[in-house]
Amino acid sequence: MARLSHWLLASTTAAALMAGTAQAQETQEANRFVMVTHGVPSDPFWSVVKNGAEAAADLVGAELEYRAPSTFDMAKMQQLVQAAVASQPDGLILSFTDENALGSVVQNAVDNGIPVITINSGGDVARDYGARLHIGQSEYEAGKQAAERMQEMGVEKGVCVNHEQGNQGLDQRCDGFVDGFDGNADQLATTYDPTNIRNAIVAYLNQNNDVRGVLTLGPLAADPMIQAMREQGATDTFTLGTFDLSPGILEALDAGDLDFAIDQQQYMQGYLPVMFLDQFVKNGLLPAGDVATGPGFVTQENAAQVIELSSQGIR
For residues 243 and 45, what is the distance between their CA atoms, to the nearest angstrom? Answer: 10
Question: Are 82 and 108 contained in the same domain?
Answer: yes
Cα angle at 237 between 233 and 238, to 5 degrees? Answer: 110
Specify the pTM: 0.78
Q: By three-state DSSP, how is residue 288 classified?
A: coil
Cβ partners under 8 Å of residue 160, min gap 6:
143, 173, 174, 177, 178, 185, 186, 187, 188, 215, 217
Beta-strand ranges (E) seen in the chain are 32-36, 63-67, 91-95, 116-119, 133-136, 158-162, 185-189, 213-216, 239-243, 260-263, 291-292, 296-298
Q: Mark whether 82 and 158 lie in a shared domain.
A: no
- Looking at the structure, tell me whether residues 274 and 257 fall in a common domain: no
Residues 192 and 276 in one domain: no
Three-class secondary structure assignment of 48-63: HHHHHHHHHHHHHCCE
Task: Tell me the pLDDT of the chain (315 aa) as tens digits.
Answer: 444 445 444 455 555 545 554 444 444 689 999 999 998 887 888 999 999 999 999 999 999 999 999 988 999 999 999 999 999 999 999 999 999 999 999 999 999 999 999 999 888 899 999 999 999 999 999 999 999 999 999 999 999 999 999 888 899 999 999 999 999 999 999 998 999 999 999 999 999 999 999 999 999 999 999 999 999 999 999 999 999 988 899 999 999 999 999 999 999 999 999 999 999 999 999 999 999 999 999 999 989 888 877 778 888
Residues 224 and 269 in one domain: no
The CA distance from 206 to 238, in Å, is: 13
Are the CB atoms for 212 and 238 separated by under 8 Å? Answer: yes
Residue 306 placed within a domain? no
Instruction: List, as one string, the DSSP characters of 80-131.
Output: HHHHHHHT--SEEEEE---HHHHHHHHHHHHHTT--EEEESS-TTTGGGGT-
Residue 300 within any structural domain of the chain: no
198 shares a domain with 148: yes
- 198 with 217, same domain? yes
**24 assigned to some structural domain:** no
Q: 217 lies in which domain range?
A: 139-263
Does residue 155 belong to any structural domain of this protein? yes
Residue 124 lies in a domain: yes
Residues 79 and 193 occupy one common structural domain: no
Establish if 301 belongs to a structural domain.
no
CATH number at residue 165: 3.40.50.2300
| 8 Å CB contact between 251 and 135 | no
Same domain, 117 and 254: no
User: Are residue 95 and residue 233 in the same domain, yes or no?
Assistant: no
**What residues contact 75, with CB distance under 8 A and at least 6 apart?**
101
Q: Name the CA dihedral angle for 19, 20, 26, 28, rounded to a multiple of 10 degrees.
A: -160
Asked if residue 113 is part of any domain, the answer here is yes
Angstrom distance (rounded) from CA 165 to CA 47: 21
Q: Residues 88, 154: one domain?
A: no
**Would 274 be classed as within a structural domain?**
yes
